[in-house]
Structure 1
Amino acid sequence: MSKKRRSLVRAAFSAITLVMTMLLLSGCGNYMVLNPKGPIAAQQLDLIIITVILCAIIIVPVLVITFVIVWRYRATNKKADYKPEWAHSNLLETIWWGIPIVIVIVLAIVTVRYTHELEPSKAIASEKDEVTIQVVSLNWKWLFIYPEEGIATVNTITIPEDRPVRFELTADSPMNSFWIPELGGQIYAMSGMSMALHLQADEPGTYFGTAANFTGEHFENMTFDVNATSDAEYDQWIEKAKQSPETLTDESYEELSKPSEKEEPMLYSSVPDGIYERIVTKYMHDGAELHQHGSASADETNGSTSAEATNANSEEASSSHNGH
């Protein structure tokens, strides 16, 4: 077989392999990140698309030019120009340096803008009341606490559609990552910290939630359902949960927090007061400062503590002055 024919066979084989790979990948499943069901996920998809287009402006021409150069200046092509003294072109230098620089600047501006807009702790603007859910990562399950309703669930949550949801996250296990692909990006859950994440489902449905961080042998079991319902159905679900015979106590939580391979979804009709705060501070030594990223309650707590400390110091100073 001639060199020219071998080159054509290799090129055809590479093209067929690329097409087959794309077809196989297209059948691997539902690309949930590309199918947003909430305002946060929709903006994140916009950022992905903008980034891909900007990068493609550089990558696609480079790949095409690379193929053209390799093909045109192959050893068997005797028609290609031979210019051994050629070394520089101001026009080409301007093109292959100027265009990438402009694209990087545009990409930086777009990324900074979206980064500020999509700050996880930033509340979603809405006329409807926000729902608060406290999330605890365990080995290997998720505990969800509804502090306003006084209930809790394991490996399942229900939220009202078209209403913002504030997730407060911590971990009573190795660091993990909480992710609902169709509603928004992931955020880490860490012991000794309380992170905030705001999401919203724009339409009813059941969405996939998972742990996106390796945390041990059975981390793949850390999946949960997110059921977005109407307000009426959400209220009915709350009442159903409050009638559950199961209750979460400090003792039952200790049993739940032990590593297990797979926990079925569960409803608890009541939870101990302040259990989430106790979990957050469980591994902190005395005097350590609690880090609450994006938590309004943290500011209020710190303000209250500072005010109490100021009053106490004032009273002590006054007493000392009166004693003198």
Structure 2
Amino acid sequence: MRLAALPIALAVSGCNWVVMSPSGDIATQQRDLVLVATGLMLLIVLPVIALTLLFAFRYRASNKAATYSPDWDHSVGLELMIWGAPLLIIIALGAITWTSTHLLDPYRPLARIKPEAQTTGTNVPLGTLGGTPQQIKGGANNPLEVDVVALDWKWLFIYPEYGIATVNELAAPVDRPIKFKLTSSSVMNAFYIPALAGMIYTMPGMETTLHAVINKPGDYEGFSSNYSGAGFSGMRFRFYGTSDADFDAWVGRIKSGGGGLDRANYLRLVKPTEKVPVMRFGTVDAGLFKAIVEQCVAPGKPCMSTLMAHDEKDGMTMPGVNGGHGPQEAESRPEGALMKDGDEKGSGKHWTAPADLKRDGGTRTPGHSDNRDHTMLVPHTLPGSRPVAVG
């Protein structure tokens, strides 16, 4: 028996069970949903597997004692069991999944920080920051805001409440809700800390939201779970669940020893790099994250909100857009080809001579109906085809 169990033990010895043993309330509820859904499905799967093996053994060719009923084709009780049991399980599974997925919506603010503690939304002092007593904005039960930017190939975390930022390092106090606002600098990515919550995608020009909480102090791994190019495998970071005092000390160290992250530094940081070490910034441009989302960090580049305002004004040119020449009537803009009449479009040179006049029945007369299958605006030769004769 021990020898038989050895291969199984070896197979699972390298597994990381963090998804089944998380440290955050959201991840715990997601794990419970997976277990409940799996258990409900096994109510059908296991009996079917067992009955399949039983029938194969009982009605084997060598068992002459088994009842042979070739004309039997219906049983009310058996039909009710076959269709009724799966139907009840599907109804139960659907109800549980529908309610749970709405309660675990990443955009939904947390109603609790753990099973025995509800959020209150009150401001509670968080101790000291850098040796000076302060009332931290939000308090212990209001969310800690963290702006997340997926770069190539690293993670940028901005703490707007504290005016700091880090690269590939994230920290949060235990039992304090966290509100992540996420975006990407170039390509789609996926933010995932298995011990904290499920993954959520980040996309350039868009902002997604994730609410979560960590309930146990520790050092956890975070990474990108969506392939994003050459440096994807090294796009990992550490997430620290800390006490309030340790978090205050961490913030204080960054404020006192980190550099500044303004738009010019961000433009240098955003360039693709691999296996980037931890970086810390003691000050951050207050409007940086909004500019990243709206893709207007570079000087002179209009923000998406400006472009949308331009569209809402029915084609009026906004200052700073289209060269910054000020208002200009939409009627002065050239129309596309689809908006023009046929006689306004003009025509290009037609190449009408077919490759073989006798065989194809064509003629060199431009516009002749025999040439309608041989007419093209630009002559080209596809691989394996004959060159077009030019007449």
TM-score, length of structure 2 as denominator length: 0.67
Aligned-partner SS, 1:243: helix
Alignment of 1:148-227 (within 5 A): 148-227=161-240
Give the helix-richer structure, 1 or 2.
Answer: 1
Aligned-partner SS, 1:28: coil
After TM superposition, the structure 1 stretch with the greater mean CA deviation from structure 2, 56-65 or 250-259, is 250-259
Name the structure 1 match of 2:346: none
Residues in 1 aligned to 2:147 and 2:64: alpha-carbon distance in whole angstroms: 71
Match status 1:104 vs 2:98: no
Alignment of 1:297-308 (within 5 A): none
Instruction: Write out per-residue CA displacement over residues 118-162 of structure 1, whole angstroms, 9 at most, x where no aligned residue.
Output: 111111232323210000001111000011111100011111111
Match status 1:57 vs 2:57: no
Question: Displacement of 1:21 after TM fit?
Answer: 5.9
Determine if contact 2:258/2:283 at 8 Å carries over to the other structure.
no
Residues in 2 aligned to 1:288 and 1:90: alpha-carbon distance in whole angstroms: 64
Name the structure 2 match of 1:274: 287
For structure 1, list consecutive stretches of 5 or more residues without a partner in the other structure: 1-15, 290-324
Question: Displacement of 1:37 after TM fit?
Answer: 1.0
Match status 1:115 vs 2:101: yes
Question: Displacement of 1:236 after TM fit?
Answer: 0.9
Residues in 1 aligned to 2:20 and 2:9: alpha-carbon distance in whole angstroms: 17
Q: Computing the radius of gyration over CA atoms, which structure comes out larger, 1 or 2?
A: 2
Shift in alpha-carbon separation, 1:20–1:87, aligned structure 2, 3 A: farther
Aligned-partner SS, 1:255: helix
Aligned-partner SS, 1:270: strand
For the aligned residues, what is the CA RMSD? 1.9
TM-score, length of structure 1 as denominator length: 0.80
Name the structure 2 match of 1:91: 77
Residues in 2 aligned to 1:33 and 1:288: alpha-carbon distance in whole angstroms: 42
Give the % identical residues.
40
Paired letter, 1:61: P
Match status 1:247 vs 2:260: yes
Name the structure 1 match of 2:56: 70
Question: Displacement of 1:22 after TM fit?
Answer: 3.8
- Residue of 19, 26, 32 corresponding to 1:40: 26
Aligned-partner SS, 1:187: strand
Residues in 1 aligned to 2:257 and 2:23: alpha-carbon distance in whole angstroms: 30
Question: Displacement of 1:70 after TM fit?
Answer: 1.6
Instruction: Write out per-residue CA displacement over residues 19-44 of structure 1, whole angstroms, 9 at most, x where no aligned residue.
Output: 66643332123211111212111111
Paired letter, 1:176: N
Residues in 1 aligned to 2:30 and 2:258: alpha-carbon distance in whole angstroms: 41
Question: Displacement of 1:56 after TM fit?
Answer: 0.6
After TM superposition, the structure 1 stretch with the greater mean CA deviation from structure 2, 178-187 or 77-86, is 77-86
Residues in 2 aligned to 1:154 and 1:161: alpha-carbon distance in whole angstroms: 21
Residues in 2 aligned to 1:271 and 1:211: alpha-carbon distance in whole angstroms: 24
Name the structure 2 match of 1:11: none
Aligned-partner SS, 1:179: strand
Residues in 2 aligned to 1:68 and 1:191: alpha-carbon distance in whole angstroms: 56
Residues in 2 aligned to 1:20 and 1:219: alpha-carbon distance in whole angstroms: 35
After TM superposition, the structure 1 stretch with the greater mean CA deviation from structure 2, 215-224 or 99-108, is 215-224
Paired letter, 2:219: T
Aligned-partner SS, 2:35: helix
Shift in alpha-carbon separation, 1:108–1:202, aligned structure 2, 3 A: same
- Residue of 79, 83, 94 corresponding to 2:65: 79
Determine if contact 2:152/2:272 at 8 Å carries over to the other structure.
yes
Residues in 2 aligned to 1:231 and 1:81: alpha-carbon distance in whole angstroms: 72
Shift in alpha-carbon separation, 1:60–1:21, aligned structure 2, 3 A: farther
Shift in alpha-carbon separation, 1:145–1:103, aligned structure 2, 3 A: same
Paired letter, 1:69: F
Name the structure 1 match of 2:16: 30
Paired letter, 2:256: Q
Determine if contact 2:145/2:180 at 8 Å carries over to the other structure.
yes
Residues in 2 aligned to 1:51 and 1:32: alpha-carbon distance in whole angstroms: 19
Residues in 1 aligned to 2:60 and 2:7: alpha-carbon distance in whole angstroms: 28
Residues in 1 aligned to 2:159 and 2:11: alpha-carbon distance in whole angstroms: 39
Residues in 2 aligned to 1:44 and 1:21: alpha-carbon distance in whole angstroms: 30
Q: How many residues align?
A: 273
